[in-house]
Structure 1
Amino acid sequence: MKPIVVIGFLGTQLDSGQGAGRWSKWRPTVALTQHEDKVVARLELICTRAHTALAEGVRADISTVSPETTVNVVVLDIADPWDFGEVYTRLYDWARNYAFDTEREQYWAHITTGTHVAQICMFLLAESRVIPGVLAQTSPAKRQRQGDPGSVALIDLDLSRYDAIAKRFDAEQRDAVTFLKSGIATRNARFNALIDEIEHVAVRSRAPILLVGPTGAGKSFLARRMYELKKARHQVGTGVFVEVNCATLRGDGAASALFGHRKGAFTGAATERAGLLRTAHEGVLFLDEIGELGLDEQAMLLKAIEEKRFFPMGADREVASDFQLIAGTNRDLREEVAAGRFRDDLFARINLWTYALPGLAQRTEDIEPNIEHLLMLHAGEANRVVRFNAEARAAYLRFAQSADAPWSGNFRDLSASVTRMATLADGGRITVGLVEAEIARLRWLWQRASAPSHGAQDVDLNALLGTERAEAMDLFDRLQLEAVLRICQQARTLSDAGRQLFHASRTQRSVVNDADRLRKYLAKHGLSWDTLSTALR
């Protein structure tokens, strides 16, 4: 067993006493050294300069009852033992300079003595592992007798040691993740991992968060859910969720909408305007399409994020607003910075937590649970339950999860599609006929958007493979490779292309690795994804 080292404050009342009568009194610090089964090797006895004499007396008494215990009197310059800032600072500085050796010693932080402020500080330092030990709470015996040291209770603040508590925390974290996903049982591993991390960040950090993804991928929805989660966990104050699409802000109107203006700041400014940043005070400000902001507004926003202060238009005095920023963009801000359209210092400031939300075409396995969610929402709004019949459901999912469905509008397209079918469903049943009509409507909708993708016909295999190799290929292999390249030309990533190409067979595999299958196929023809990314775009 490692030697026990106790760190505790002197009890100016409980540890005091003069004459022989003091031995009939329970004194916590002395009693702590009287347990035969818990021998204290060293006691760091903390006191103020005014109580040094009492501390020396306690040290002398401990040497009588426990000669094995070395007592070090630690004098801290604390003028007011009820001043939390002062007590914590002095104790923190002492602990940081103390030579803890957890390999050879175990440490107890005694919290029975000292002011309540001192006890709280000991708790916080042990909880944060500045003092790398457990809390020790001593108490007298119920029937106090001379020489009876009472009891010692040890409290380990490492929650991982408490299964019941750990399970409650795990359940709470799962509930929060479910909340962020609106209760939709998503099946996409990448998206689930992303939401797991966002849950941690949302409730632990007030730093800016950047959501990247195509229009309709759910950036606005997720930002609002993060705000609601933070609100439920008391991570934001009384402020509200303020959302603005920066693409709608132009000219003087952009600065005025964001930062407010004084009366007469410009032609037409007939009244004072607070601005959205002030409206978001103690809340969350979601700036969607932040890449659309002008450079002047970007500079003003950077100051507001860093200093929580800014000048409204036409004002000669700063105003304050303490908000958390969530930004959204469908652009690659790295490219915007390189092109001089986005400030690199602002990008650096909002790029601490960046999350790329995959589009619906990259999450085809999540189409089915999202359809169920949308039908449930429709039932609540229309007071009418609608269901697919079995054949219609299979037909719709077959199309929706195929390469023929690019879902260019992402979840907006899916929501509109389900709403149309639910509205037209007689008797609350979506039939094959309704599904076929909806598929035709979607094909028409996406026809123009997907037209450029047919340019894969122009892929020059001679240029990619070399004339000799290309002409030596069988027609079968050539047509197959061209079909694969058409999919690669449309896909954003190697994994996305693989999901489309192996959509049917992937469901029959215990281990799914679409990207690796496609990579090996391309390598067989001497091609790589990096090569195609350059050649096909």
Structure 2
Amino acid sequence: MQKRRVVIGVLGTVLDKRGKRENRWKKWRPTVGLCQQPGFPVDRLELLHQPRDKGMAEQLSEDIAVVSPQTQVRRHPVTILDPWDFEEVYAAFLDFATHYPFDTENEEYLVHITTGTHVAQICWFLLTEARYLPASLLQTSPARGEATDLEKAAGTSSVIDLDLSRYATLTSRFQREQQQSVSFLKAGIDTRNATFNRLIDQIERVALRSTAPILLTGPTGAGKSFLAKRIFQLRQARHLVKGRLVSVNCATLRGDNAMSTLFGHVKGAFTGAQQARAGLLREADGGVLFLDEIAELGLDEQAMLLKAIEEKTFFPFGSDKEVRSDFQLIAGTHRDMTQWVAEGRFREDLYARINMWAFALPGLAERREDIAPNVEYELQRFCAEQQTQIRFDKTARERYLLFACSPQARWPGNFRELGASVARMATLADQGRITEALVEEEILRLQQSWRPAHGAVALPVDPATLDLFDQDQLAAVIAVCRRCSTLSEAGRALFAVSRQKKSNPNDADRLRKYLARFGLSWESVRGAG
């Protein structure tokens, strides 16, 4: 089915103004002329005009109805006090584009840039290039040389593709709009962390410029799912996707259910398959597929996913007929993917395919300066969801933040755990107040939940400051120290093999220096046991 053609433009108060007399039909009027192009029917014209030019817009609509009865004209009064002010014109056009109900499945859009001031033309261009308008640019001009009266009135038209670099000096005026895109991604992930700010800025640029897979890594609760949703919403707002966001946690998929959920199945493909199923990959056609915890997928599913990414086709479970789906993949995982590949748990070719844009999201322990604003965000979110008003007492807030930002607060569940902590206090708050007593109860609850399991070793230093390798090694050393009665005994146990190769071993001194690397002493390690 052929799409409807929709033209968006502004009323030309000079070029479109040719009076009401009969000879106006012999003169070129750009807005009327674009509806007279042979073989180029216009189904709808969205005409923006100043409220004071209402009469002229109505006259133009009547004339278009005469020359092109099939063209529907919809008039949009837009107040612009200074049509030569870039910021005002850009803001007015952006507001129109943001609220316009684009239907790219059934309609094609063109922006008429012949009428209006040069400022208006440039603003149309910038908005179209930035994909706020999912459209092409249309330019009309008067007929040249010998032409009939009808040809003169209609003029000519052409769809154009301008070079953005010619307008590079103007882009600085609109950096505020670019910054809003970054703010869009960070909404709900309030940050004062410079490193994370740069990361989000890079993700925003990739989301708007690339359709390649995006891999989000980081600990559980770091915000991978939330960020995937915001990436989709950003691409949707810029008309870069037509489909929807489809999400699944791969850790919940096992056996036949994994194949069926992702790729669909035909009726009778396995026991219990009484009806055919489309599968999530087909549901994501034209949109975004978010596979959280992708490292948990089985090897068979990984092989089929690789084919689906590269060829846009795959076989539903139990079918010998390929189906097609064109989606963008966002994957998330808390696993060390390099190690997963080395151990044979994840296909190397699939990892190479999804690793083009890989972003490691930091945990809460690496963004302690972001705890305070996120506490406020989580409290506001709770109030909005429960339709209530809750606030911290001043001393209670100070006490909670003092603990939450301290090295003693581990936050293994990251932002998800912080949100749960705030929600608990808000739920228990009487008369809308989180008191210091409630905060002390919550701190005790968190400390108890973070207490190591039986037989585990609690490190006397903040684990968030150590690499995983150092955490494991230090825990093993401390476990030996606590089993031994003296520093020398612990040293002999730890260095039993290497000490045999030395003529004058000093195991105690070696152990003392190792502990000192982490600001520890034999006495402090023994005392923490």
- TM-score for the superposition, normalised by structure 2: 0.58
User: How many angstroms does 1:161 deviate by?
Assistant: 4.1
Alignment partner for residue 166 of structure 1, among 153, 168, 172? 172
3-state SS of 1:236 partner:
coil
Alignment partner for residue 366 of structure 1, among 364, 370, 373? 370
1:184 to 1:159, Cα distance in 2 relative to 1, 3 A: farther
Q: 5+ residue gaps in structure 2?
A: 1-113, 115-124, 130-139, 144-161, 460-474, 482-486, 500-504
- Distance, in Å, in 2 between the alignment partners of 1:427 and 1:387 is 10
3-state SS of 1:426 partner:
coil
Contact 2:182 2:204 in 1 (8 A): yes
> 2:327 maps to which residue?
323
User: How many angstroms does 1:167 deviate by?
Assistant: 2.6
Q: 5+ residue gaps in structure 1?
A: 1-111, 113-122, 128-136, 141-154, 490-537
1:349 to 1:449, Cα distance in 2 relative to 1, 3 A: farther
User: How many angstroms does 1:481 deviate by?
Assistant: 5.0
Residue identity in the other structure for 2:185: L
3-state SS of 1:407 partner:
coil
- Distance, in Å, in 1 between the alignment partners of 2:224 and 2:415 is 11
The within-5 A match list for 1:138-537 is 157-158=164-165, 161-163=168-170, 165-168=171-174, 170-237=175-242, 239-448=243-452, 451-454=456-459, 455=475, 457-458=478-479, 462=491, 468=506, 471=509, 481=517, 483=519
3-state SS of 2:458 partner:
helix
Residue identity in the other structure for 1:457: I
User: How many angstroms does 1:266 deviate by?
Assistant: 1.3
RMSD over equivalenced CA pairs, Å = 3.2
- Distance, in Å, in 1 between the alignment partners of 2:521 and 2:178 is 42
> 1:525 maps to which residue?
none
1:340 to 1:471, Cα distance in 2 relative to 1, 3 A: closer
1:171 to 1:262, Cα distance in 2 relative to 1, 3 A: same
- Distance, in Å, in 2 between the alignment partners of 1:297 and 1:242 is 17
- Distance, in Å, in 2 between the alignment partners of 1:469 and 1:189 is 43
Contact 1:246 1:293 in 2 (8 A): yes
Residue identity in the other structure for 2:478: Q
- Distance, in Å, in 2 between the alignment partners of 1:187 and 1:195 is 12
Aligned length, in residue pairs: 335
- Distance, in Å, in 2 between the alignment partners of 1:327 and 1:380 is 30
Q: Deviations over 1:256-314 (max 9, x none)?
A: 11000011111111110000000001110000111111111100000000010000011
- Distance, in Å, in 1 between the alignment partners of 2:223 and 2:444 is 25
3-state SS of 2:278 partner:
coil
- Distance, in Å, in 1 between the alignment partners of 2:426 and 2:229 is 26
Tell which structure's C-alpha radius of gyration is larger. Answer: 1
- Distance, in Å, in 1 between the alignment partners of 2:247 and 2:291 is 6
User: How many angstroms does 1:184 deviate by?
Assistant: 4.4
Identity of aligned residues (%): 59
- TM-score for the superposition, normalised by structure 1: 0.58
User: How many angstroms does 1:458 deviate by?
Assistant: 3.7
User: How many angstroms does 1:138 deviate by?
Assistant: 12
Q: Deviations over 1:228-257 (max 9, x none)?
A: 1100011111x1111101111111111111
